[in-house]
Amino acid sequence: MPSPNTLPSKTTTAPPRSSPPPLRTRTSSSSTGASSASELPPPHPQQHVQRSTPRPRSPACSRAKDTPTATGSTTGSAQNPVKATACFLRASVGVAERHALRPTWAASFLPCFPTAQGCSAISPHVPAPTSTHRIRLPDGAEIAAYLDGPADAPVTVVLVHGLSVTADLWRLHTQQLTDRNLRVVRYDQRAHGRSTRGTALITLEGLADDLAHVIDRLVPHGPLVLAGHSMGGMILQTLTTLRPDLLPRFHGLLLISTPDGPVTTRPQPGLRTRIRGWGRDLLVTACTRAPSAMDAVRRRLPHSSPWALLDTKPRSGDTDSPLPCRRGLHRTATRDIASFWQPLATSGSRPIAGLLALGPRLTLLAGTADAHVPADHTRALAHRVPQAQFVLAEQATHTLPVRHPQLIVDILACLASQAALQHPHPSQEGCPRQTARSLHHHPATGPAVERIHAQPS
């Protein structure tokens, strides 16, 4: 017998409609450009369901809800702004996680890092790294570095992640590159993952010096192919100027979603971007002006949130593999997050002397749907290095390394093969052309531009 407080479920079905024709999706062959079509079944008729029970509330929101007390006052969000803010962030993170793998406005406006949100697409069934190293820096910071692949590999690939994630960002790439007889070095940026903060100021020059210590320690000799995403690309660009003695060893450099100049909260014009920018400006202001309050809020977030703050020190004896990609900032205080943002937002146009020395060894990759570092910002950097190769991935977002690992692996493997053949200066007939649909090269006006249709791997 049903409970007196529970209404029976009632389901009504809309009148049947004529089924629309099957949807057709087209994919292009990489070699001939021929199209193939696949049919999808027609959608089911829409069903309108009336719920018999209300949707359960979030525990955090339930705690923060205003409730009267015996004295007539209220508790919850009215008297505890920390709980109210935690409730908002918890709900925001939940919405963003449901939209994390789709380039919607919610994923880019809500207080979440796009790359960290997209990391849920990485398969967990990947073997652990071959060896883990702790590299102690002069300021006391310890960098966690991970070395995979055969020791006698002809070329070493160095992978540099950006803000908010860990070396786990390159997990899929590492597996495929080592299968191609390449050695792979990746590491956690300071104050990310298993790397500690240290005492030095956080600047692009300092982060580039951290990378130089990793290279000097793990791969002091031999040819190198390097790739960096977002902030990682900015670090690599700074390294080419900071350490020109390493340039002869750089047989290939891939910069992914790397802007020319500072990162902004309003990368594109328009009302929607302006509203997103206001939200991001508010978040930046809160992290800069009230880091302790933000820490208190982050400690109340679920562990699945990229913003959650757990303990600030890595656990001893647990360094076999990088922390999951989404947990890059779980041990990073809000004050340090603000310290990372400052040099990214105020660095201006960075020197390009090192990039000019690399010339055709440089490849830049951007996504047309990137709302955080628009393709035009990366294109501006490519125009300053006319000999570079500029690859434009159609419909790719800022999570390009996560959603399109095969594209990046193919470019890196081609650069590494040219390095193994002792071709330190690949021509414009180089690697990305293998996957290009069309090539537009205007030597007099700018770099070669390849537009490719990047499908998720």
What domains sit in the chain, N to C, each tagged with a CATH number? Answer: 88-457 (3.40.50.1820)
> Which single residue is written with the structure tokens 């959603």?
403
Distances 457 to 259, 338, 354, 355, 403 between C-alpha atoms, Å: 25, 34, 33, 30, 6
Question: DSSP strand E in 53-163: where?
Answer: 67-68, 74-75, 131-136, 142-148, 156-160
Mean pLDDT of 197-213: 96
User: Containing H/E element for 341?
Assistant: helix 334-346
Q: What percent of the chain has pLDDT over 70?
A: 60
Whole-angstrom Cα distance, residue 382 to residue 376?
10
Whole-angstrom Cα distance, residue 215 to residue 217?
5
pLDDT per residue over 372-401, tens digit each? Answer: 898 999 999 999 999 999 999 988 999 999
Highest mean pLDDT among 35-49, 119-133, 209-223, 271-285: 209-223
Supply φ then ψ for residue 183, to 5 degrees. Answer: -95, 140
**Stated pTM of the model:** 0.70
Q: How many CB atoms lie within 10 A of CB 227?
A: 28
Query: How would residue 266 be classed by pLDDT, with cut points 50, 70 and 90?
Result: low
User: Containing H/E element for 235?
Assistant: helix 231-242
Sequence-distant (≥ 6) Cβ neighbours of residue 19 within 8 angstroms: 42
Of the candidates 328, 337, 308, the residue with the CA atom closest to the CA atom of residue 195? 328
CB 376 within 8 A of CB 442: no
Phi-psi region of 120 (alpha: psi -120 to 50; beta: other; left: phi over 0): alpha
Question: DSSP strand E in 51-203: where?
Answer: 67-68, 74-75, 131-136, 142-148, 156-160, 183-187
pLDDT at 45: 41
